[in-house]
Chains A and B, each alone.
Chain A
Amino acid sequence: MSASLENGQGEAQWVVVQPGLFQYPLAAEEKPALLAARCCQCRRVFFPKRRLCPTCFSTEMEDIRIRGRGLIYSAAVVHISSPSGIAAPYAYGYVDMEDEDVRVFGLFSGDRPESFSAGRDVELAVGPVSTDNLGRQVIGYQFVPVLKPGDPPGD
């Protein structure tokens, strides 16, 4: 199990922020995916996964993956680096996913932190978010702007 969470040979170079949140590593051409659950009874979707549906109390859950785009529900900019090592300034908030009825917490990156606000189109990405005290890259998920045709390439 842990072999898939750290790259094990000798000193690990990376570690995921928490197992079970998103697919990692990704196969070639595989799109980033959040690991979520759907209640088999009432069809409600949960991210992260839950073992018991708080709506209908069923414990029958199926694993699903959530990919792709969403709309920012709320956002804020943090101007002091977080104790967990996310470097300031950074933006984070909540995203309503396009394909599933679920609101997801997430960091925003790929543009100026101030540029993220409610209503913006973003897309799920997976990659390093910080470095831990052993010098390993911490792999997390983020939301990045959706590039529209004609947009200049990002920096």
Chain B
Amino acid sequence: MREVFVIGVGMTRFGKHPDRSLRDLGFEACLSALEDAGVSPKRIEAGYCGNALAPALQGETGVGQNVFWEVGISRVPVVNIENACASGSTAFREAWMAVAGGFYDLVLVVGVEKTVMPKGTMLNVGAAEWETRLGDVFPGYFANVANKHMERYGTTRE
């Protein structure tokens, strides 16, 4: 296994971006990472894109292909990774494994997500599972975990 280095990073501003697409946000982050590394898109051998909710919220699939194409990367393997809240870190791990394992020397990883819902509505994660139909929502689940932790260990809100 080889040692792996992060040689450049880039990030958009966090915030609500009602007028920007996933492609546009991903493009900005990728371009600044390439510039930071001083690497031409031509040299990227594979792309990894983490995204969880585009199919549900933006009706979009293949986000990675769109983002990498926008930044001039195509005709290389592109992998889209959906792994809930861990989508971005999973994309990073897969990229690391590919380089550590000697499959590629230079890859690009991006995570991009837009989850702002209309005011007063809850993040919609579909209704395929019975718990969801019975009212289970992400914040409610994590609130259960937090309340239990506070009860058991005396953890406070701060």
Contact = CB atoms under 8 A, between A and B. Distances in A.
B158 interface: no
Interface stretch (B4-12, B79-87, B144-152): B144-152
Contacts of A131: none
Contact of B122 (A82, A92, A117, A141): A82
B133 interface: yes
Interface centre among A82, A90, A129 (most CB of B within 10 A): A82
A63 B146 CA distance: 34
A78 B130 contact: no
Interface in B106-141: 120-125, 127, 130-137, 139-140
Contacts of A48: 130
Contacts, number: 79
State which size class the interface on A falls in. Answer: 20 to 34
B39 interface: no
A59 interface: no
Contacts of A138: 133
Q: Secondary structure at chain B's binding surface: helix, strand, loop or mixed?
A: helix
Interface string A85-128: 01000101110000000000111000000000110000000000
B143 interface: yes
A84 B127 contact: yes
A146 interface: no
Interface stretch (A3-11, A37-45, A50-58, A68-76): A68-76
A92 B134 CA distance: 9
A13 interface: no
Contacts of B151: 74, 117-118
Closest 6 CB pairs of A and B: A76-B143, A86-B135, A74-B148, A18-B130, A83-B124, A74-B144
Interface of A: 17-18, 21, 48, 73-78, 80-84, 86, 90, 92-94, 105-107, 117-118, 129, 138, 140-141
27 contacts: A21-B130, A48-B130, A74-B144, A74-B151, A75-B144, A76-B140, A76-B143, A76-B144, A78-B137, A78-B139, A80-B120, A80-B121, A80-B122, A82-B122, A82-B135, A82-B136, A83-B122, A83-B123, A83-B137, A84-B134, A92-B135, A92-B136, A106-B134, A118-B148, A118-B151, A140-B133, A140-B134
Given A74-B151, A78-B122, 18 more contacts: A17-B133, A18-B130, A73-B148, A75-B144, A77-B143, A78-B135, A80-B120, A80-B121, A80-B122, A81-B122, A83-B123, A83-B125, A83-B127, A86-B135, A92-B140, A105-B131, A107-B134, A140-B133
